[in-house]
Structure 1
Amino acid sequence: MMENKTLNVVLLGFAFMLIFTAFQTCTMVEKTVLEGTGVDGYVSLAILYAVFAASNWAAPSIISVTGPKYAMVFGGVVYCIFIGLFLKPSTYSIYGGSAVLGIAAAVLWTAQGSYLTINSDSETISRNSGIFWALLQCSLLFGNLYAYFKFHGEIHIDDSSRNTLFTVLLVTCCVGLLLLLLLRNRRGIDNEDLLSINATRPVPNRPMQALKRSLELLRTREMLFLSVCFAYTGLELTFFSGVYGTSVGHTLQFGESAKQLLGLSGVFIGIGEILGGATFGLFGKRTNRYGRDPIVMFGCVIHMICFFLIYINLPGESPLQDTQALSVITPPNLYLAIVCSFLLGLGDSSFNTQIYSILGMMFPEDSAPAFALFKFVQSLSAAAAFFYSSELLLEFQLLILVIFDFFGTICFFVVEWRVVATQQSGYHVVSGDI
């Protein structure tokens, strides 16, 4: 019979899979489906991530009052409302909804990190991160497969197609919300976890204590180094979740299938994410035998190769508008575009599974503030990326990604080597040690 804590992680993964089947499909097609409505999808997402970044400072304080379960339920409700706004979009509703969702997203993701840590120990944190990540990234498959078949042969996405798509997504999101209600609170968990094993002081249980601890963690050398890696994950999150699919859809050299490729691109990003999550998480004892840094290096190299292939395959104007312009490869190769989608997902899973693992290991008694800082930096860089995505040509966006990919990987190595050295010296890896 499945252990209680493992069951919690699996249920958490399925809930997020359904909620983000709706939301990630929404973000990947938002720029395209809102064309002609007066709403700019990039601006909407930039507002969302900017508010998300600021709200991460308040998220630990909220969770200290509500607990992680009900914080996630609150977040899930707002996600459902946001998806519903696309049934009759307007400038005020979409932009306003994006701002409110930014607050809810900060609470949801910080609570998720805390809940995952509560249900893990030092032996299972990598495995549980992988289980959660693989289930979460299944969200990229189902919604995008539906979008792929729904937009078959369509040059322009009309109101009827949009409303049908978002009705299905809304129902899916609501089912995910119901699963969150089935999660068990901490009181029902009877086994030891990272929190109880490694804690050296009481967990902050008052709002001001949680905020103070977030500020303390931000000033640590290790969190500052990790922030460079966090920033890279935000930049590439923007790229694969909003920019790349839009660029493929805008490349008219692909013919009538260009809009349909929006969904197919998302599917293969999801396949890459799931494969990475399974390999680096479910088999964590094997893949982590030599530390987390080889996995992050693998993700770095995969993304470098991917960015080069995208540069030679898609025209520079493709993130901004429909274009008949030619790329280095003439004409652009449809199959190469899909391979790049897969590589984007595979590299992203390499970074994120190891970030979850190292944060859970380093900051067990400060899981909410630590994950809040991760999401703060990630979402701040994502917001910046969505703002510049509406102005910069593809080659300049790729250059920014390459620079942050390199330095983010180096900074992760510095912290990982410190963690390994601390473990070998015989000390517990806790917030006060590093």
Structure 2
Amino acid sequence: MASMDNNRDEEEPFVAAAASVDNSETLRNHTKDVHILSSAFLLIFLAYGAAQNLETTLNTKDDMGTISLGILYVSFTFFSLIASSVVRFMGSKNAVLLGTSGYWLFIAANLKPTWYTMVPASLYLGFAASIIWVGQGTYLTSTARSQARDYHLHEGTVIGNFNGEFWGMFASHQFVGNLISLAILRNGTEGSTTGTTLLFTVFLCSMTLGTILVCFLSKRVDGGEEGPKDSSVSLYSSLTSLSKSVITPLLDVRMLLIIPLIAYSGLQQAFVWAEFTEKIATPALGVSGVGGSMAVYGAFDTICSLTAGRLTSGIFSITWIVSAGLFLQAVVFLWILLKYSLTSGVLGIVYPLLMAAMLGIGDGVINTQLSALLGILFKHDTEGAFAQLKVWQSASIAVVFFINPYISLQVMVEIMLAALFVAAGGFLDLSAAVFSNPLLNMSLPFTSLRHRLSWPLILYSATWTSLLTLTVAVASFSPEIAFVSTISSFSQGCEQEGTIRVPLDVPGEVMCLPAHLFKRSTVTDSIVSLLFAALVVAVSAWVVRAMGLWEDDEATL
């Protein structure tokens, strides 16, 4: 017996050592998966992000680029409603892997851009984008939970650290991808652009590497997330659960007050992709310079995303950070609407880059704080809250891409300002309610809504009326869009029908731009603006009245 005890004592250190080796290996595996996932998304989205920025400037024939992106985000909106069920059925790793195929096909379609290649690729990418993002969130959360469980760590801290690494690397895709496009694209003669085939080939190689990296991810089994389910009952149950998670948040007044900010976050992103790149950056910098301006946008977006995340501590900090971001973007929109004009020399380059930086700061803080806000206010229904985030964001992005070919830059900027004021009013109203009653973190009773929505409606109407009055006054002196008025006097007929010639600083060189960039402000534009403003106020009032909330005079916060 003594001999057996001695043998057991001698074996115990080796067992403990083996367990230690296993634990360290498990740690390396968990962190390795985060590194792989982050690197894969960087390689995939540096290609897609830069391609999306160029879509409206390269594929201008019949507005094919703009309409393709509109189709993409309509598809994204629809499939976001069922993406959770697809990911549960396939497993998170398989969903991410399948999702990469949509981005690969979209870039490949741009090598030969026709309606027959771009429309199917856009439709499929909408589906792929919906499942890759749900799969990414599921996989990253599962990885963090495994790390916390295996090493007895605080789950929230680990989730925060893993998300910090992922989003830090992901945010840099705009900077890296647009630097690549800046290095490869060159302005050709008479407005043409050279190097597009080489650029999209490089992007395909980058996406292929990202897809290969996804294959090396470990499978996750936490919570039964991996592996197809054979039972049709299970799929039906998940669909039923998903429908509830999508509808239930809409019955919460807090979500109704946040939705305008969510929709605005999508609108301002689409404005940069569809309007800023085509109608401000391209005339000032050329098609090859779009990559440079978007690299500046991405750099400031990345820095401010990381900084805002570090500064976030609760509703109070979120309120100030979001307000600062909205203020900067409002300054840019008012600048474009009332003052901006295309100039030559250094200022002609500095102004678009400064706008890109300010828009990037706003985008970085708004999107970072939206995620934090939803996480704080909807702890018991996070999935439903983030489903609303994707649905409203993608829907608003689709709207911009579809209406872009039919309205002038002036009207689009006016719409952005109106949406910004509505979003700010709803968000600040919610923040004030939470400050006055911290219990509203958990719920916000419907009975107080009239008291809090009556003054925002008046504020929206007054602000929008003042803005339109100022716009009409400016238009009476200059009937053209501000930045167009400076360069329209230089316009000459180009060889290509329907384009306008703009002289560059280099003697003898010109750039041909589509005629729709030079639309004059018309009475129709003013009518559209007024109708949009009236629609915003009318819909807000209708929602309040339809829900039976207008009649309660006694409820207060």
The answer to whether the superposition gives a TM-score over 0.5 is yes
Residue among 129, 135, 144 paired with 2:169? 135
Q: Aligned partner of 1:340: which letter?
A: M
Q: % of aligned pairs identical?
A: 27
Larger mean CA deviation between 267-276 and 83-92 belongs to: 83-92
For residues 201-240 of structure 1, what are the structure 2 equivalents within 5 Å? 206-240=238-272
Q: Which residue of 2 aligns with 1:357?
A: 372
Aligned partner of residue 87 in structure 1, secondary structure: coil
Distance 1:219 1:383 in 2: 25
User: How far 1:307 moved relative to its partner?
Assistant: 1.6
TM-score (norm 1): 0.80
Unaligned runs of at least 5 residues, structure 1: 190-203, 315-326
Aligned partner of residue 317 in structure 2, secondary structure: coil
Residue among 99, 114, 132 paired with 2:123? 99
Q: Which residue of 2 aligns with 1:376?
A: 391
1:388 aligns with 2:403: yes
Q: Which residue of 2 aligns with 1:147?
A: 181
User: How far 1:355 moved relative to its partner?
Assistant: 1.3
Distance 1:377 1:6 in 2: 33
Contact 1:248 1:262 in 2 (8 A): no
- Is the alpha carbon distance of 1:249 and 1:302 closer, same or farther for their aligned partners in structure 2, counting shifts above 3 Å? closer
Q: Aligned partner of 1:166: which letter?
A: F
Aligned partner of residue 148 in structure 1, secondary structure: helix
Contact 1:276 1:350 in 2 (8 A): yes
- 1:57-96 residue CA offsets vs partner (Å, 9 max, x unmatched): 1112212222333222221111111111111221111012
Q: Which residue of 1 aligns with 2:412?
A: 397
Aligned partner of residue 260 in structure 1, secondary structure: helix
For residues 251-330 of structure 1, what are the structure 2 equivalents within 5 Å? 251=283, 254=284, 257-281=285-309, 283-284=310-311, 290-311=316-337, 327=341
Distance 1:307 1:260 in 2: 24
Residue among 188, 192, 200 paired with 1:166? 200
Q: Which residue of 2 aligns with 1:72?
A: 96
Distance 2:213 2:380 in 1: 26
- Is the alpha carbon distance of 1:184 and 1:408 closer, same or farther for their aligned partners in structure 2, counting shifts above 3 Å? farther
- 1:248-302 residue CA offsets vs partner (Å, 9 max, x unmatched): 3542xx4xx4222211111011011111111012x246x6594311111111111
Distance 1:150 1:185 in 2: 38
User: How far 1:430 moved relative to its partner?
Assistant: 9.6
Q: Aligned partner of 1:93: which letter?
A: T
User: How far 1:338 moved relative to its partner?
Assistant: 0.4
Contact 2:83 2:134 in 1 (8 A): yes
Q: Which residue of 1 aligns with 2:67?
A: 43
Q: Aligned partner of 2:393: which letter?
A: Q
Q: Aligned partner of 2:107: which letter?
A: I
Contact 1:110 1:371 in 2 (8 A): no
Distance 1:364 1:11 in 2: 28
Query: What is the RMSD of the two structures over their aligned residues, measured on CA atoms?
Result: 3.3
Q: Aligned partner of 1:90: which letter?
A: T
Distance 1:330 1:429 in 2: 55
Larger mean CA deviation between 120-129 and 290-299 belongs to: 120-129
Residue among 33, 52, 66 paired with 1:27? 52
Distance 1:164 1:305 in 2: 38
Contact 1:222 1:415 in 2 (8 A): yes
Contact 1:13 1:132 in 2 (8 A): yes
- Is the alpha carbon distance of 1:243 and 1:115 closer, same or farther for their aligned partners in structure 2, counting shifts above 3 Å? farther
Distance 2:252 2:304 in 1: 30
Q: Aligned partner of 1:134: which letter?
A: G
User: How far 1:54 moved relative to its partner?
Assistant: 1.5
TM-score (norm 2): 0.64
Aligned partner of residue 291 in structure 1, secondary structure: helix
Distance 2:200 2:335 in 1: 32
Q: Aligned partner of 2:289: which letter?
A: L
Q: Aligned partner of 1:358: which letter?
A: L
Distance 1:84 1:61 in 2: 28
Q: Aligned partner of 2:124: which letter?
A: V
Larger mean CA deviation between 303-312 and 142-151 belongs to: 303-312
Residue among 47, 60, 73 paired with 2:84? 60
Distance 1:131 1:418 in 2: 33
- Is the alpha carbon distance of 1:93 and 1:249 closer, same or farther for their aligned partners in structure 2, counting shifts above 3 Å? same
- Is the alpha carbon distance of 1:360 and 1:71 closer, same or farther for their aligned partners in structure 2, counting shifts above 3 Å? farther
- 1:384-415 residue CA offsets vs partner (Å, 9 max, x unmatched): 11111112211211111112122213323444
Q: Aligned partner of 2:243: which letter?
A: L
Q: Aligned partner of 1:294: which letter?
A: W
Contact 2:342 2:348 in 1 (8 A): no
Q: Which residue of 2 aligns with 1:179?
A: 213
